Amino acid sequence: GPRFYFCGGITILRAGGDASGREPAVRARDVVALKGPEEAQRTVATLKEKTDCVKLTENEKGDLFTPIAREARAAGMAVIAHSFNAVDSAAWGISGIEHMVGVAISTIRSTEGRKAVEGMTIPAGHKNSLLYQWMEPAYFNEVIDSLVSRKVMINPTLDFEWKGLMEHAREFELEDARLLYNPNLQYMPLSERLVSLGQYHWADKRSAAEKELFLKGYKRVQEFLGRFVKAGGKIYAGTDSAAATTPGLSLHHEMELLVDAGLSPMDSLRSSTQWGAELLGLDNKLGTVEVNKLADLVILRGSPLEDIRRTKEIDQVIRDGEIVDTGFHSDYSFPFRLLGPVSKHLYNPIPVLSDVNPPMTAQGTEAKLRVRGRGFVPSTVVQIDGSAIQTTWVSPTELSAVLTRAHSSRVGTVLIQVESPLPGGGVTEPLEFYITYP
């Protein structure tokens, strides 16, 4: 199989919880807790036993970033993070920046732009495509100089952020669909396939005016990245495939998008090989083909220096000098635990039904039901004895539904449930509802 390298997270405990005030939904083996800067050395030492780099969130400030980064570098570990300001993150000692949010914000200096950003909700790992229209090219060089002088790399995740808008969207979607519905790949959960393909349509219902603003921002992101690499900056290509893109294939798409942004095909290849190895401190054994390095090779049928899309024309994969079987096998059993909706923000949550009001209605009458619980999404529906009824989403904790005269035509007990569709989702336990005599 592939070589796995892990980044370990640090949960910052403030007033009994992490930076968000909530305990994490999933406590992985590579997440450790930190109460203050004085614990940085112990925390990094704990992570080093299990992981290859440290990952932080954008919510923490320099008082914690700096000592963690210092201890990590002393231990030979890189520190990567989401960022709300790339210049600040660079000054705090970060090695790599995830996504373009912090880069964009650091270039926005106008009063109008700053006011617009202050009015936005900018969650980590989500698409923030309205942000980038406010990037100011006049400040690109200043930000680039700050990052390059401190040897800070960027993982722009272009495929994740822009796959529903860029010119290759339909081409990439078709390639994904061909792969994901390969008969020998059907051990991949349906929800995973739906998440990946669904991301091509996140902007379908946006107005033409909004899409123009998205594309304006995309062009500014492309301009920044092209200038960044020309100035000596380095990119490590990643795609957030654990969240929303097709593993493997999305990296080929990312390399194509980097070339669109102005990188040479060689620099795009470096983003997935040499520069990624350098970030993790693995360039003494991986990243380039050299004497005394590991014999890991991908042999192509054509030159990607002529056309970066030829990285998909794979003839052989060699690991440790051995030819690897790259086919898919229908009897394959996935060896790792799948966390699904517990950890993936693009899955629909598992709905929970708590009560229905009113709890009864008279035979032959129509009733408007207030259905309460949690984990409701706009596509959640209320069911009567397994059949969907007219439902209106009110909030994540409330639905409004209409029980018609046909549903109340017979006296007795009916069962009310709530269902959210794939990906994720599910059906709640039922609650009894009573049809009484008139």
The pLDDT value recorded for residue 10 is: 76
Residue 94 in this model has a pLDDT that exceeds 50: yes
Per-residue model confidence (pLDDT) at position 134: 98
363-377 residue pLDDT tens: 999 999 999 999 999
Following DSSP, what letter does each residue of 1-70 receive, concatenated? Answer: -PPP--EEEEEE-BTTB-TTSS--S---TTEEEE-SGGGHHHHHHHHHTT-SEEEE-TT--HHHHHHHHH
Q: For position 124, what pLDDT does the model report?
A: 60
Query: What pLDDT is recorded for position 15?
Result: 44
Instruction: Taking residues 260-270, report their average pLDDT.
Output: 99
Domain boundaries, the chain: 82-289, 348-436
Domain boundaries 348-436, CATH class? mainly beta
Q: Which stretches of 231-248 are DSSP H helices?
A: none
- Using a 10 angstrom Cβ sphere, with 0-12 exposed, 13-18 middle and 19 or more buried, the burial of residue 139 is middle
Residue 12 confidence (pLDDT): 62
The dihedral sign for the CA sequence 16, 19, 20, 25? negative
- Contact partners, residue 241, CB within 8 Å, separation at least 6: 247, 248, 250, 251
Helix axes 190-198, 169-180, angle to 10 degrees: 170
Which residue from 172, 260, 161, 165 is spatially nearest to 208, judged by alpha carbons?
A: 165
Q: Which helix (H) or strand (E) holds 426?
A: strand 426-427
Whether 19 has a pLDDT exceeding 70, the answer reads: no
First-to-last alpha carbon distance for the chain, in angstroms, is 67
Q: Is the pLDDT of residue 215 over 60?
A: yes
Spatial contact of 294 and 205, defined as CB atoms under 8 Å apart? no
Higher pLDDT, 90 or 346: 90
Q: Are 79 and 62 in contact (CB under 8 A)?
A: no
Q: Does residue 22 register a pLDDT over 50?
A: no
pLDDT 10s digits, 165-202: 999 999 999 999 999 999 999 888 899 899 999 999 99
Confidence (pLDDT) at 17: 39
What is the pTM assigned to this prediction?
0.89
State the CB neighbour count (10 A cutoff) for residue 364: 13
Peptide bond into 304 cis (omega under 30): no
